[in-house]
Chains A and B, each alone.
Chain A
């Protein structure tokens, strides 16, 4: 059986880390994701935009007092893509 190609959007270190975090929680703040992944704000912002454009996550931007607050949440499309990705890497790891 030929191996399924891995989703290029998820097969990257930072984007996969973001998705793995978001799959475990209801929603997470940009600052929390930055702390947990250890990424720079600029790079994280770019990767979050890519995931959001693909419909894998939803991003809500609002102000808390004077501070901007960005909240990310995984979508059903994101959950399906993540599950599919895990299934596919398991194929590669089978002896």
Chain B
């Protein structure tokens, strides 16, 4: 019988072991599980301050079965650049150097560092698990928080701005590979990481990572929340490559039906699941719809350049 992708996933082994100190239903550990299955053991995770600096477990133990180098908040992509250059100098070019950080460390405070490493086209991965706020410090708003979401610094759900369109910003760096992922679609994520692994240069992957305590939903519903994000068109799964100066962008299979707005579920379906949107207003729904349109229009403009 031919090997299926499920066989492959099982054979890949486990790198996220029992014993993490993550919250029940954590989207980030789930995403990391599939990312590491794709990357394998010759991988160094560079982790800035984020949930992963805590859920990897407390000294002298580690629940993640690859080398982890913990670093300061804004520094990860630069530390990873240094590790990469040193390994290359020593002839270990086949080791994956991977920044694994939250939206705070990648989209906000670490943005300049990520941008710099991307501009230099360092041969590293930067992977952001986006739980849409500073969860590790207690749910403060980040540049990746959607309009209208309640956080401890927007306690009444004040609309501050759009969510920073990070994957698009990275695409415009002209780097070889950009993709979005979603923990509710593990095979899509696994295959993207595997494809990226064979590409030399800077790889950016942005993963939608629902957070039960931060978003206030039942911790058995992480996958449902992830799916609704795609089905409402709020989160789009795509991958983009820069080939000979041309941006080649592809809508990933789970998101393909939702190119047609008529197929999308109403955004309210996504909102009502989550306590962070409790008592959402018409204005916040309007802003979120704008955000959805903004992303799809951006994407379509790239799709249209072919």
* Co-assembled chains A and B: no
